[in-house]
Amino acid sequence: MAGRALLVVDPQNDFCPQGALGVPGGDEIMPLINELAPRFPIVVATQDWHPAGHASFASSHPGRRPLEVIELDGIPQVLWPDHCVAGTRGAEFHPGIDLRAARAVVRKGTDPRVDSYSAFRDNQREHPTGLAGLLRELGVTRVVIVGLATDYCAAFSARDALELGFVPEIWLPATRPVGAPPGHLERTLAELRQLGVVLREDLPEDR
């Protein structure tokens, strides 16, 4: 697997069942990721790390409810329950994930005015996280993406990886989707396929 990195997206408590923005079955993928990680020479994880009162939170917009979509500084923004607030238990990695071998942890969503689904840059596409430079320095050309959630942070990371010159793959069995609003997952996967992102439906037998 030379030249490949495993990108573990947001395996955090708030994205697992019982969390503030729980993804159905989110905790189920942790053992799979633990099995996959040793097979990659480079592992990087991301961590949503929002300040309190983040602009993506529905609570920051009186009268709005979670999953409503507004325009925020010129781009569409899904409003979410307060989640992954920096320093809280919800922002911590799920206890079932083993990231001791991770080369780096990239924290994102730290700007109070701009959400950041992608591991590579914020949703305004103006402020990079530094991940692309790190991967290039390490000789990575192919990025295998797992984690939470398929239709948001994993998908945005794959799009940006492609645009930034990497070959992205999403290994779907080691992800789980938010699945909202209705039809969003299906539209997202269709768009990724059209762009040329590899969507792997199974995991390698030698994992």
| Annotated active-site residue in 16, 27, 82, 108 | 108
Q: Which residues contact 135 (CB under 8 A, 6 or more apart)?
A: 5, 42, 44, 143, 166
C-alpha–C-alpha distance, residues 66 and 93, integer Å: 23
User: CA gyration radius for the chain?
Assistant: 16
Tokens of 118: 């992608």
- In the annotation, is 16 catalytic? no
- In the annotation, is 73 catalytic? no
| Annotated active-site residue in 10, 82, 122, 151 | 10
- In the annotation, is 108 catalytic? yes
Total Cβ atoms within 10 A of residue 80: 23
Q: Which residues contact 90 (CB under 8 A, 6 or more apart)?
A: 12, 13, 14, 19, 20, 83, 84
Q: Which residues are catalytic?
A: 10, 108, 153
